[in-house]
Amino acid sequence: MKARIILVIGALAAAAACSQSPEGPAPVQPQGAAASSTGSVSASAAVRASPDVFTAACSIDGAVAAFQTALGTLNPNTAGENPGGRREINWDAVPAAFTNTTSFPADFFNATFAPRARGAVFSTDGSGFSVSDNDFAFLNADYAGQFGAFSPVRIFSAIGSNRMRVDFFVAGSSTPAVSTGFGVVFSDVDNTGSASIMLLGRGGNSLGLYEAPPCPQGFSFIGVKFPVGVVAAVEITSGHGPLGAEASDVSDRNHGPARDLVVMDDFIYGEPKRSN
Ligand SMILES: [Ca+2]
Ligand SMILES: [Ca+2]
C-alpha cells in the first residue's frame, strides 16, 4: 500500500513537472553528457533507465517525505558505514562561527567525529561556501525578501559560483563511497532549468541531469533514487550566477541587471557505502 501511495505522489509530481516544461519530465540529458559517459554507457544504461524521481514545486512536503521513505531510516551522524538508510544535512546546527561567513569548510560534513561525520565533501569552481541564518542578507540586504529556509533557519550556497559538487565517502573517512540517490531543496527557483542536479557514477559518467521545477520565492525539490548504490558524486547548479553585493535576483525589479539566483537548503542522500 505504501509503495502505491509513493507512486501516486511521484506520478502527480511528474505531471506537475511536465506542465512546467515542454521537454517533459526529467531526466534532461545535457549536451556534454555523451562525452562524459565515454566507456560506461552500456554499464550504466540499466540503472540510468530505472531511477525513481521525486520532484515538486511550492508544496514540496509530500515529495520530500516520499524521497526520505524511499531511501530508508535516517542514520545517526556518526562515522562508519550503515547497511542502508539515509543521511541528511539541514545546516541548522552549524555553529555561529561558521554562519554568515564566506569560508564554510568544504569538508565540514566529513569530519571523523559526530555530529559532522556524514560522508559528504563539497567542491566548487567558485571561492568557497556559505551557511546563512539571515537568508544571505549579510551579503546583500535584498536577499532577505527572496530566499527562505525550508528547515529553519540556516540555508546554504556556494560563493563566487552557481555550481558545486558533492563527493561521497564512507562517513568520517577518505574511502570513496557510492549512494543510492540524492535530493536537494532549492529556494527561489524563478525559471525552469536554472536549478538542477547531475548525478555521476564512479567513473565520472553522467547518470542523468534532473531539473527542479520553479517556485518563485518558494521551495523546489528534486530527488533521484536508483535501485542500487551507483552515485559517487552530484553536480549541483543553483541559479544563473553567484550571490553578491551587486547581484540582484531576476524577480527584484528595483535593481538590475538581474539573473535567477537560487540557494539551497536540505541535502538528503542514501547512506554512502564503500564502492566495490
Ligand atoms: Ca535548514
Ligand atoms: Ca531566484
Residue 239 Cα, ligand 2 centroid: separation in angstroms?
7
Distance CA 21, CA 4 (A): 26
Which pLDDT value is given to residue 31?
34
Residue-range domain boundaries for the chain: 2-274
CA of 183 to the centre of ligand 2 (A): 19
For residues 190 and 34, which has the higher predicted lDDT (pLDDT)? Answer: 190
Predicted local distance difference test score (pLDDT) of residue 252: 76
- Flag whether pLDDT at 15 surpasses 80: no
**pLDDT tier at 257 (50, 70, 90 boundaries)?**
low
Banded model confidence at residue 23, pLDDT cuts 50, 70, 90: very low
Distances (CA, A) of 191 to 20, 208, 215: 10, 20, 8
Return the pLDDT at 16: 39
Of all ligands present, the nearest one to the C-alpha of 148 is: 1
Rounded distance from Cα 40 to ligand 1 centre (Å): 36
Q: How far is the CA of 62 from the centre of ligand 2 (A)?
A: 23
Q: In this predicted structure, what is the pLDDT of residue 275?
A: 84
Ligand nearest to the CA of 142: 2
Q: How are strands ordered across the β-sheet holding 233-238?
A: 120-124, 163-168, 233-238, 195-200, 206-211
Average pLDDT over residues 203-218: 97
What pLDDT band is residue 5 in, cutting at 50, 70 and 90?
Answer: very low
Q: Find the 13 Cα to ligand 2 centroid distance in Å.
A: 21
In this structure, which ligand is nearest to the CA of 132? 1
If you average pLDDT over residues 115-119, what whole number do you get? 98
User: Would you list the DSSP string of 66-102?
Assistant: HHHHHH-SBPPS-SB--SS-EEEE-STT--GGGBS-S
**Least confident residue range of 6-10, 42-46, 114-118, 175-179:** 6-10
What are the phi and psi torsion angles at 143 (to 5°)? -65, -20
Ligand 1 (ion): residues with CB under 5 Å are 90-92, 149, 151, 154, 265
Confidence (pLDDT) at 28:
54
* pLDDT tens by residue, 174-203: 999 999 999 999 999 999 999 999 999 999
What pLDDT shows up at residue 41? Answer: 41
Is residue 225 within 8 A of residue 144, CB to CB? The reply is no
* 131-135, 168-172, 211-215, 246-250, range with the lowest pLDDT: 246-250
